[in-house]
Amino acid sequence: MRGSVIPRLQADARFVNSVAMVERFEAAAQRWNGEGDFRPVIHDGNEIVAAAELLRDMRPGDRLFYEPRLLGTKKSVDFKIEWHDGGISWVDMKTVAPLWQDNEAASTRIEEILSGMPANHHVICSPAIGKQWINARWSFVARAVELEAKIGMLSELERGPVRLLLCSNGAWHEDDLEDFADFYRSGSFHPDDWAQNAVAQYMAERGISFNRSITGFIYLERGHEDCGATKFSIDVKGPRLI
C-alpha cells in the first residue's frame, strides 16, 4: 500500500487533506508493530482504499475532504466531496468485521434466531460462522442509525446526498448488503432474506426504527493483504425481476 495506493493519493490534488489520512494509517501501523490489535490498521487501510475508489468516480475540479467536522458540532463524517458544480456529497464508512465466537452461547443464540427464518431457507454452518453473519447484519443496522443521527445535524449549507460505505474482508458479501439496502428503503424484507428474523428481533429489542435519510449504500471488499478493492459498488440494491 505504501508503494502504490498512498503515493497516488498524495499526488492527487483533488484530495485536499490526504496527509491526515496517511498519518493516521502510519500511526496505527506503528502502534501495532507486529503485536496487539491489528483491527485499526485494517480499518485505516480500508479508508485509504475507499478514498482511492471515490477519486476514481470524481472529475477534475471536484475536491475530496477527509473527516471534516460538521458545522457547530464535534461530529465528523469520513468523506466530503465538493463537486465542481457546487454540490456536496457525504460518505461515512465502517469496517464490518464481527469477532469469531465459537461457544455454547453462540450456538444457542443462533438456534433461537434461525428458528424463525423463512421456510424456503436452510442454513448449514458452524455456530461461529452463523454468529459472524448475523452480527454483520446487526452492525448494518447500528451503523445506519448512527449515520442518520449525523445527517440530522447537517446545516442547510451542508445538505447533500449522504451514503454509508461498509467494508468487508469477504466474511460477508455484497448480497447481504443488497438485502439490507432494500429493507432500509422499503421497510419490508425481501421474502428470501434469511436474516429477516434476526434483524427484526434486534431492532425490536432496542426500539430502533429508521427515518430513511441515507441516500444509498456502498460496498467495498478488500482482503487484509490486498492493496486495493476487489469489489466496489455504489448504491447497492437487490436484483429486480423486470
Q: Which CATH architecture has domain 5-97+139-233?
A: 3-Layer(aba) Sandwich (3.40)
Hey, how many other C-beta atoms are within 10 angstroms of the C-beta on 46? 25
Tell the residue number behind the cell numbers 423463512, with chain if given: 118
Q: Where are the domains of the chain?
A: 5-97+139-233
Binned average pLDDT, 10 residues per bin, the chain of 242 residues: 90 97 93 82 95 97 97 96 97 82 50 56 48 83 97 97 96 93 94 88 95 98 92 91 54
Yes or no: say if 166 and 92 are a contact pair by the CB < 8 Å rule: no
Cα–Cα dist 11/199, whole Å: 43
Cα–Cα dist 207/89, whole Å: 29
What is the pLDDT, as a whole number, of residue 65? 98
In sequence order, what DSSP letters do the residues of 14-46 get, joined into one string? TBTTHHHHHHHHHHHHHHHTTSS--HHHHHHHH
Yes or no: say if 121 and 194 are a contact pair by the CB < 8 Å rule: yes
Backbone angles phi, psi at 155, to 5 degrees: -80, 170
Cα atoms in the Cβ-side hemisphere of radius 13 Å centred on 177? 26
**Nearest Cα residue to 150 out of 218, 214, 220, 216:** 214
Hey, how many other C-beta atoms are within 10 angstroms of the C-beta on 108? 11
What is the pLDDT, as a whole number, of residue 132? 66
CA-to-CA dists, residue 233 to 44, 91, 114, 161, angstroms = 19, 13, 29, 16
